[in-house]
Amino acid sequence: MPLEQRREELVAAAIRVISRDGVGKATTRRIVAEAEMPLGAFHYAFASQDELMRAVVDTVTEQERFAAQAGSWDARSLESALRSGFETYIGLLEANPERELVLMELALFSRRHSADGMRDQWSTYFESAAEMLSYAAELTGSEWTSPLDELARLLVALLDGITLAWLADRDSAAARRTAEFAASGLAAHARSISD
């Protein structure tokens, strides 16, 4: 089996184990058993369990970024584009809440073991958020009037809040109302390039 395929299968197995059993039970042995691989296959593919967990975060974040970009964006205005992006995200959350639980659990687990682990995870989120904000602005002929890195941090904080609240109460209508406020608030930090 090619190395890249082995890595992908181990990442997928880790996501399943964490979703089902929690990050505390995501041992190397349990993950390779889930992937139906020998233990040696893990050490061939990853230098450490930390490297695997980082690959889990990167994989899930990339899947969400791809889904957001592939989703239907309403380009009539920046606010409508942002609402479209939030709607896509909430749809992903509703379809696969376990994936978000995996990310939240990994973040808290890594924070208990190393501040850098959680910092690295959120750095990935900030980068992804900045890309999405840039894409929305470009799509709608807008430009941001506040620093993009600050808006990206705000977007991540908003998404984290929507995610945690939805995981707690599963109130999709409330999540969508919050997203509308968020889109409006973010759009206030931009202007049309034609202005």
Burial classification of residue 1, based on how many CB atoms lie within 10 Å of its CB (0-12 exposed, 13-18 middle, 19 or more buried): exposed
Residue-level pLDDT at 1: 83
Query: How does pLDDT run across 111-137, given as a tens digit for each residue?
Result: 777 767 778 878 888 998 999 999 999
As annotated, the residues of the chain forming the CATH 1.10.10 domain(s) are 1-46
Q: 């880790």: which residue's tokens?
A: 14
Give me the residues of the chain with pLDDT under 50, please: none
Query: Structure pTM?
Result: 0.81
Determine the Cα–Cα distance for residues 3 and 44; give it in Å rounded to an integer: 8
Looking at CATH, the fold of the domain delimited by 54-192 is given as Tetracycline Repressor; domain 2 (1.10.357)
Q: What is the CATH number of domain 1-46?
A: 1.10.10
User: What is the Cα–Cα distance from 159 to 143, expressed in whole angstroms?
Assistant: 21
Residues with Cβ < 8 Å from 48, sequence gap 6 or more? none
Distance (Å, rounded) from C-alpha 32 to C-alpha 40? 9
pLDDT recorded at residue 61:
75
Q: What is the pLDDT of residues 167-184, one digit of tens each?
A: 999 999 999 999 999 999
- Predicted confidence at residue 112, as pLDDT, reads 78
How would you classify residue 141: left for phi > 0, otherwise alpha for psi between -120 and 50, otherwise beta? left
Q: Look at residue 158 in the predicted model and tell me its pLDDT.
A: 97
Q: What is the DSSP letter of 71?
A: S
The CA-to-CA distance between both ends of the chain, in Å, stands at 56
> In 31-171, at which residue ranges do the beta strands (DSSP E only) sit?
142-144
Burial 87-125 (b: 16+ CB within 10 A, else e): bbbbebbeebeebbbbbebbbebbeeeeeebbeebbebb
Q: Indicate where the chain has its CATH 1.10.357.10 domain(s).
A: 54-192
